């Protein structure tokens, strides 16, 4: 790239004066040195507190707002009027004053369910096979080309992994096959995961990793290479080489960045093994790869099928042992599904265990494992203690969530457990493809992730110990058995209250399910003919409390009501798969009632929203839009814009639709489906991505709303979501996240008025080799002598930093910045210089060559695709500048081996980014001169 005027000016810079401070969030500057009664004061914007009740949220005109929020030590100490804040001296004693310049501040957004941090590893290490609107794939041939490119660069015998393929969004309308993958990559083992996460396809080299006994035991279709549901997928995936600790930390850092960019301050980590995930996150906090909060949901049961055909729990009992559950004996017999009962499940006494909602940031765990290999061996053995890393002092960063079960499968994979008549289009399937030979079409073989009897046993055990569970229930039959299991559990343990057990996804939950969950059994009278295959207290369409052991329906109603059972809706299914649910999976009758938020509102049932990330990108704002509009996306196959909702708010209204596709069956008979409007207003939807997921996880005393005493987690948006919902609701997902703040520290973006538009360097998640460690230990704003001031209005950011790098190694670093609308060629990254060497530009490498002194730019949402010099940087879009330095190389300002010191200045010949039209924030009177210099 050319040398432009600003580089010539920078060559006049003298040796910089370095101010090294501990790592800071983007755009905040150093904390003032003088004591102050207020760390940060936010004002002059629209500040929604989300402190309304669910009933009050029905009227968005009455949304609770404040004019000022003040913080100290990472917590909120004031939320109220500007007049009161001035009377109390908060403005005068504020170290930092953030003028929101009319922008909107919300409580930090919270994910209701997901698989953090898997998205990070997928972004960095796997091939993206998604179709529009999530990716670029349009055909099987596109899959083959993308995989072939990766195979060409992969080492011998290295696994090639892909994710996100969708058989319903490619022109062939089919899954890729073993033969397709063999043609693309004949020598390397290949494993590609379906967009639902419930299926995969592998090539011959991958199948060869598993034994014939393993494949036959779980019913793998060797001809097609298709694996359905976890038990089948794991017979191949267990042969993946384990990710090294550095790769795991890079994936964590990438996921942290992606979630923060979406405005998320608390992520959700579900389906985990505590002994693996908790230490990874504890280390991530210590290394500054994780600065969000995370709720961890341990697997409460994970079926593993052995070569003998026996299915055992390979995770639940280990997780319970790690979290302080005890066992009368160490027998593992109860880990076998066939003999599991509430009285013999191993480690079943949780009376002294870690409770849901607890802070587990610095938790130590006893480690247990089976003596042999979880094959029904008679004893468990303690293997020592897993302790947090030395030096970890954080708190309120990692929390224990509910125990997770995966019950049924995915509607896109034909493995959701649906009631009769099953799916709208059967396609190649037959009535013989069913769950537990139910006698009607249900879906593909492999749906059986957990038999209903095992679910009842486990829910009763966890409930009896006062612990919450969350259960994956996509299909209506799965929801039926889950509700029945809860009915039996509350009667068996009537002393237990407020467990908040949660249905994850709740895609085809019926009205009668929500009525039962909320204890409104009286409303079931006369509705039996609307449903099929009813069990539990509504068996055969009649109120039958004795079926679940209840004395009468009044007792059961009270017990159910007291638990505050919860639904977490994957509401963006209406957007991403709406047309396919309407035409293929559910049919119009059920598709209009999928993710039935309206019924939850009608019965005051608490609910949250989630994106199930990695399944779809993390985006609470997309959930907000889908909840308000419930319209489908445009794609290469479907026009989109279909409304997935009924009309009106009459709980008794019905509409007639065929239950099966008439073109497939030749039968045009119609049946009655409920006709109810499931759209909600923007305020209700905001509750579902802030306060309600906090309440779901027993954290609403700490996060989820803006109130004194709560943690200072905020999301600042460029627009007011209630105003956007009223004027142009189809734009809600496109609202710009300006800043994400955790504990009063920005972790993404730049506050309104920030004078810094590039954040401090950090070790990159893209490195020359997997083993490279680049740990930035100190960073601070660079304060050069005269000459800096002449060009500062063209400077996005200038920093000095230190990093631990192994002696003589190359290491990559990165810093985020806002685009300015100009071409890449107008940007320059300078080495701050040292002594007589002066300031020098780094070399722009559009090939992302890992050589000392190279740098390149990539969009933050596509970090593996470096931009060319003529590519435009979209105004106010976030980008990453990557650069490479060598320990003891010519740009290393530290002569010590293994310690690298750098100075970088990012500047432009073009205009500065507008940051949504805001200007710089001002210092409060309490800030010292030293702090002013740093800011």
pLDDT at 234 > cutoff 60: yes
pLDDT of residue 771: 87
Higher-confidence residue: 918 or 818? 818
pLDDT at 455 > cutoff 70: yes
pLDDT of residue 331: 60
pLDDT of residue 895: 82
pLDDT of residue 440: 56
DSSP 26: T
pLDDT bin (cut points 50, 70, 90) of residue 284 is very high
pLDDT bin (cut points 50, 70, 90) of residue 783 is low
Task: Supply φ then ψ for residue 798, to 5 degrees.
Answer: -135, 125
Yes or no: say if 706 and 79 are a contact pair by the CB < 8 Å rule: yes
DSSP assignment of 390-426 equals TT----SSEEE--EEEE-S--TTTT-S-PPTT--S--
DSSP assignment of 466-528 equals T--EEEEE-SHHHHHHHHHHHHHHHHH-TT------EEEE-TT--HHHHHHHTT-GGGGTT-G
pLDDT at 506 > cutoff 50: yes
pLDDT of residue 429: 74
What is the rounded distance in angstroms from the CA atom of residue 169 to the CA atom of residue 577?
A: 10
Which region among 299-303, 543-547, 555-559, 843-847 has the lowest average model confidence (pLDDT)? 299-303
pLDDT of residue 3: 45
What is the rounded distance in angstroms from the CA atom of residue 859 to the CA atom of residue 867?
A: 8
Yes or no: say if 641 and 631 are a contact pair by the CB < 8 Å rule: yes
Handedness of CA 699, 700, 704, 708 (dihedral sign): negative
Helix, strand, coil shares of the chain as percentages rounded to 5? 25, 25, 50
- Closest C-alpha to 595, from 612, 619, 617: 612
What is the rounded distance in angstroms from the CA atom of residue 418 to the CA atom of residue 454?
A: 19
Which region among 783-797, 834-848, 887-901 has the lowest average model confidence (pLDDT)? 783-797
What is the rounded distance in angstroms from the CA atom of residue 374 to the CA atom of residue 336?
A: 9
pLDDT bin (cut points 50, 70, 90) of residue 16 is very low
Three-state secondary structure call for residue 301: coil
**Mean pLDDT confidence for 786-790:** 38
Region for residue 393 given its phi and psi (left: phi exceeds 0; alpha: psi -120 to 50; beta: otherwise): alpha
Q: How does pLDDT run across 600-655, given as a tens digit for each residue?
A: 999 999 999 999 999 999 999 999 999 999 999 998 889 999 999 999 999 999 99
Yes or no: say if 612 and 663 are a contact pair by the CB < 8 Å rule: no
pLDDT of residue 430: 72
- Tokens for 719, please give them: 């627009």
**Mean pLDDT confidence for 252-260:** 98
pLDDT bin (cut points 50, 70, 90) of residue 436 is low
Beta-strand pair 226-228/199-202: antiparallel
Q: With pLDDT > 70 as the criterion, what percentage of the chain qualifies? A: 88
C-beta atoms surrounding 233 within 10 Å: 22
Q: How does pLDDT run across 387-421, given as a tens digit for each residue?
A: 999 999 999 999 999 999 999 988 988 889 999 88
Kindly state the greatest CA–CA separation across the chain.
89
Q: Give the up-direction half-sphere exposure of residue 659: CA atoms within 13 A in the CB hemisphere.
A: 14
Q: With pLDDT > 90 as the criterion, what percentage of the chain qualifies? A: 75
pLDDT of residue 925: 46
pLDDT of residue 254: 98
Region for residue 744 given its phi and psi (left: phi exceeds 0; alpha: psi -120 to 50; beta: otherwise): left
DSSP assignment of 352-394 equals TSPPTT-B-TT--EEEEEESSSSSS-S-EEEEEEE-PPTT---
CA separation (Å) from 135 to 40, 176, 195, 370, 616?
40, 17, 11, 42, 11
Q: Which residues share a beta bridge with 55?
A: none
Task: Supply φ then ψ for residue 317, to 5 degrees.
Answer: -70, -35
What is the rounded distance in angstroms from the CA atom of residue 260 to the CA atom of residue 252?
A: 12
**Mean pLDDT confidence for 462-485:** 97
User: Which structural domains are found in the chain, ordered by start?
Assistant: 5-27+757-908 (no CATH), 38-107+702-749 (2.30.40.10), 118-237 (3.10.310.70), 406-618+631-677 (3.20.20)
Q: How does pLDDT run across 310-343, given as a tens digit for each residue?
A: 778 889 999 999 999 998 655 666 677 766 777 7
pLDDT of residue 229: 82
Q: Which residues share a beta bridge with 901?
A: 802
Q: How does pLDDT run across 175-207, given as a tens digit for each residue?
A: 999 999 999 999 999 999 999 888 899 999 999
DSSP 634: P
Mean pLDDT estimate for the chain: 89
C-beta atoms surrounding 714 within 10 Å: 27
Which region among 148-152, 266-270, 561-565 has the lowest average model confidence (pLDDT)? 148-152
pLDDT at 31 > cutoff 70: no
pLDDT at 927 > cutoff 80: no
Yes or no: say if 379 and 339 are a contact pair by the CB < 8 Å rule: no
Three-state secondary structure call for residue 280: helix
**Mean pLDDT confidence for 582-601:** 97
Tell me the pTM: 0.93
**Mean pLDDT confidence for 12-20:** 36
- Tokens for 525, please give them: 């009278």
What is the rounded distance in angstroms from the CA atom of residue 461 to the CA atom of residue 489?
A: 8
pLDDT bin (cut points 50, 70, 90) of residue 442 is low
């Amino acid at each position: 790239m050319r040398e432009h005027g600003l580089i010539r000016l920078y060559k006049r810079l003298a040796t910089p004066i370095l101010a090294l401070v501990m790592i800071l969030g983007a755009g905040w500057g150093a904390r003032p040195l003088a004591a102050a009664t207020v760390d940060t004061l936010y004002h002059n914007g629209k500040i929604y507190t989300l402190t309304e009740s669910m009933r009050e949220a029905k009227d968005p005109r009455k949304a609770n707002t404040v004019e000022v929020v003040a913080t100290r030590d990472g917590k909120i100490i004031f939320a109220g009027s500007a007049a009161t804040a001035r009377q109390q001296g908060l403005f005068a004693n504020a170290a930092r004053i953030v003028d929101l310049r009319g922008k909107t501040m919300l409580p930090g957004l919270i994910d209701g369910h997901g698989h953090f941090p898997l998205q990070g590893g997928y972004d960095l290490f796997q091939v993206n096979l998604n179709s529009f609107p999530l990716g670029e794939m349009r055909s099987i041939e596109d899959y083959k080309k993308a995989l072939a490119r990766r195979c060409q660069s992969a080492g011998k015998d290295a696994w090639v992994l892909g994710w996100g393929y969708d058989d319903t969004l490619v022109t062939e309308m089919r899954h890729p096959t073993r033969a397709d993958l063999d043609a693309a990559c004949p020598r390397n083992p290949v494993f590609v995961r379906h967009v639902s996460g419930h299926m995969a396809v592998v090539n011959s080299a991958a199948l060869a990793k598993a034994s014939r006994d393993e494949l036959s035991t779980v019913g793998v279709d060797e001809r097609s290479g298709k694996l359905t549901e976890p038990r089948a997928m794991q017979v191949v995936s267990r042969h993946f080489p384990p990710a090294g600790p550095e790769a795991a930390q890079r994936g964590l850092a990438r996921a942290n960045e992606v979630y923060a960019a979406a405005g998320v301050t608390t992520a959700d980590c579900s389906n985990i093994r505590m002994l693996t995930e908790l230490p990874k996150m504890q280390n991530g906090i210590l290394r500054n790869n994780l600065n969000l909060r995370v709720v961890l949901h341990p697997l409460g049961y994970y079926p593993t099928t052995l070569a003998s055909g026996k299915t055992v729990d390979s995770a639940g009992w280990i997780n319970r042992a790690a979290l302080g559950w005890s066992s009368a004996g160490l027998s593992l017999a109860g880990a076998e599904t066939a003999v599991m009962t509430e009285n013999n499940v191993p480690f079943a006494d949780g009376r002294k265990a870690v409770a849901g909602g607890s802070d587990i940031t610095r938790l130590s765990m006893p480690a247990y494992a089976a003596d042999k290999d979880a094959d029904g061996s008679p004893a468990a053995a303690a293997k020592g203690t897993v302790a947090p890393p030395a030096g970890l002092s954080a708190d309120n960063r990692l929390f224990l969530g509910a125990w997770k079960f995966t019950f049924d499968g995915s509607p896109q994979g034909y493995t959701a457990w649906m009631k009769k008549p099953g799916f709208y289009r059967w396609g190649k399937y037959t009535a013989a493809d069913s769950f537990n030979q139910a006698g009607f079409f249900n879906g593909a073989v492999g749906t059986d992730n957990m038999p209903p009897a095992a679910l009842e046993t486990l829910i009763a055990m966890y409930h009896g110990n006062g612990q919450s569970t969350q259960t994956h229930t996509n299909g209506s039959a799965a929801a039926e058995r889950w509700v029945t299991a809860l009915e039996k559990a509350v009667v068996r343990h009537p002393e237990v209250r407020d467990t908040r057990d949660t249905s994850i996804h709740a895609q085809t939950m019926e009205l009668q399910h929500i009525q039962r969950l909320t204890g409104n059994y009286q409303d079931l009278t006369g509705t039996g003919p609307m449903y099929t295959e009813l069990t539990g207290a509504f068996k055969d369409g009649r109120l039958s409390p004795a079926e679940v052991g209840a004395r009468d329906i009044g007792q059961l109603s009270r017990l159910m009501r007291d638990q505050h059972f919860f639904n977490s809706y994957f509401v963006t299914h209406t957007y991403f798969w709406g047309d396919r649910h309407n035409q293929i999976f559910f049919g119009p009758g059920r598709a209009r009632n999928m993710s039935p938020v309206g019924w939850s509102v009608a019965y005051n049932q608490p609910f949250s929203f989630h994106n199930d990330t990695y399944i779809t990108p993390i985006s609470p704002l997309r959930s907000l839009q889908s909840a308000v509009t419930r319209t489908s996306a445009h794609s290469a196959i479907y026009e989109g814009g279909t409304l997935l909702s009924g009309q009106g708010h009459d709980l008794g209204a019905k509409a007639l639709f065929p239950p099966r596709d008439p073109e497939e069956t030749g039968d045009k008979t119609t049946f009655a489906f409920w006709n109810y409007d499931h759209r909600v207003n923007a305020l209700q939807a905001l509750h579902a991505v802030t306060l309600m997921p906090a309440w779901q996880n027993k954290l609403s005393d700490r996060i989820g709303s803006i109130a004194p005493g709560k943690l200072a987690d905020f999301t600042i948006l460029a627009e007011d979501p209630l105003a956007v919902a009223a004027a142009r609701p189809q734009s809600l997902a496109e609202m710009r996240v300006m800043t994400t703040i955790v504990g009063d520290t920005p972790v993404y973006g730049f506050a309104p008025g920030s004078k810094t538009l590039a954040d401090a360097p950090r070790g990159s998640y893209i490195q020359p080799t997997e083993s490279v460690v680049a740990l930035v230990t100190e960073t601070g704003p660079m304060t050069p002598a005269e000459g800096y001031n002449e060009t500062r209005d063209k400077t996005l950011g200038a920093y000095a930093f230190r990093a631990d790098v192994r002696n003589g190694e190359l290491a990559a670093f990165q810093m985020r910045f806002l685009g300015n609308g100009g071409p890449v060629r107008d940007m320059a990254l300078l080495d701050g210089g040292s002594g007589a060497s002066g300031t020098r530009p780094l070399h722009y490498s559009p090939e992302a060559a890992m050589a000392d002194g190279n740098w390149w730019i990539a969009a933050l949402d596509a970090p593996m695709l470096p931009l060319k010099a003529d590519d435009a940087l979209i105004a106010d879009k976030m980008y990453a500048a990557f650069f490479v330095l060598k320990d003891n190389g010519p740009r290393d300002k530290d002569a010590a081996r293994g310690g690298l010191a750098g100075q970088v200045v990012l500047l432009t010949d073009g205009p500065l980014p507008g940051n949504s039209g805001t200007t710089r924030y001002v210092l409060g009177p309490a800030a010292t001169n030293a702090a002013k210099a740093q800011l």
